[in-house]
Amino acid sequence: MKDGGPVRLVAILNSFNRRELLREALPSLVGALAECPFGAAIVVFDAGSTDGSLEWLANYQEERPPTPVQVILREEGADGSLSAGVNAAARYALEKFSHLEWLFLYETDNWIGSASPVLAAAGLLESVPDLAAAGFTVKKRGGEDAGFGCPFPTVTQFILGQQLTNLLRLDAHRIRQWRATGDVRWAPCDIVYTSPLLIRRKAWEQIGGPDARSFPFCDTDVDWSWRAWRQGWRMAVIETAEVVHDNQGIASGWSVDRVVNFHRARLRLLSKHRKMSLLPVRILLLCRHLCELLLLIVASWCLNNPRQMLRKRWVLLKSALWSYER
């Protein structure tokens, strides 16, 4: 326990084979929380890393960092998904710290410069009672915007595909008006990503944690934000230059099936929240995947790795026949 008194904030960090990122992300978090005027702790959930992450964490714990770091491991046979890990760490924190007020969802590709963003988010949640959570205008290492959130997705965006949607900026966050609460400049936003995100305990208990069954990896934060909105909560983003979200090209083991996982999750998401009919959407998606495959075949002579790209697109086309469930 810190000198700041009972633990009121617990940071949740889900780690899986990203030691090189973890070595920067965790110390920056430890340093930031050590500056907070209230008690804070960190819970790291390791989903079964084999890259030396556990050994590094053990050595780091022996250094007795100023903010306590607790590591919990995935039990044998248990769900090791991103959502399941967040839920397991949150349960541990809520049971262990009776004075807990906030959960801070943090990722291995995050970096935070000081306690200022955390304190701004905590102060905002205390001042605006219908805010479920607050995120940040995250940057990449080079200073470029990393993307902190988006509007609620539409069926049209899904049918067009990620690349065309991004090109047309249909999924770009829309800040209608920045607001000021004290010294904090913030804005409401449909969806704020968990990278990182400070969540009010009351909201977490009312909404529940991520849906690990339907959204184990992709769109888990999109679904959570949508559920929050349906229960009368709002999400906020805080303007800051002290929070980084950048994986520096280091992908985790969860990224292997990213494209199929995205399509499966997005189809589930739109079916759940937009109440759409699946059959016409699946037909349009099959047409899109087929067109993409044909275009790749035509352009294969000028691609760096055409065989791999064609194989991935073929897998995606076949998966669409089964709603991406196979």
The two three-digit tokens of residue 138, written as one number: 């995250």
Give the residue numbers spanning the domain of 287: 258-320
Return the CATH number at 92. 3.90.550.10
Model confidence pLDDT, tens digit, residues 133-148: 999 999 999 999 999 9
pLDDT of residue 255: 56
Answer yes or no: do 42 and 164 share one domain: yes
The two three-digit tokens of residue 10, written as one number: 């617990």
- Choose the weakest-confidence range: 116-130, 161-175, 222-236, 296-310: 296-310
Answer yes or no: do 200 and 291 share one domain: no
Q: Is residue 287 within 8 Å of residue 242, measured between CB atoms?
A: no
Answer yes or no: do 188 and 303 share one domain: no
Using the 3D structure, point to which of 221, 252, 283 is the last residue of a domain. Answer: 252
* CA–CA distances in Å: residue 321 to residues 150, 151, 178, 180, 210: 28, 28, 44, 49, 27
pLDDT of residue 23: 96
Dihedrals phi, psi of 192, to nearest 5 degrees: -120, 130
Answer yes or no: do 282 and 236 share one domain: no
pLDDT of residue 251: 66
Domains of the chain: total: 2
Answer yes or no: do 129 and 53 share one domain: yes
Answer yes or no: do 76 and 162 share one domain: yes
Q: Quick check: is 225 in a domain?
A: yes
Give the whole-angstrom CA distance, residue 261 versus residue 120.
34
pLDDT of residue 1: 42
Answer yes or no: do 185 and 232 share one domain: yes
Answer yes or no: do 121 and 162 share one domain: yes
* CA–CA distances in Å: residue 324 to residues 218, 247, 257, 258, 309: 13, 26, 11, 12, 18
CB contact burial 5-34 (16+ within 10 A = b; e otherwise):
eebbbbbbbbbbbbbebbeebbebbbbbbe
Answer yes or no: do 44 and 101 share one domain: yes
Sign, Cα dihedral of 186, 192, 195, 199: positive
Using the 3D structure, point to which of 207, 236, 252 is the last residue of a domain. Answer: 252
| Whole-angstrom Cα Rg for the chain | 20
Give the whole-angstrom CA distance, residue 111 versus residue 100.
23
Composition of the chain by helix, strand, coil, percent to 5? 45, 20, 35
Answer yes or no: do 153 and 277 share one domain: no
Q: What residues contact residue 85 under an 8 Å CB cut-off, 6+ apart? A: 14, 16, 45, 47, 74
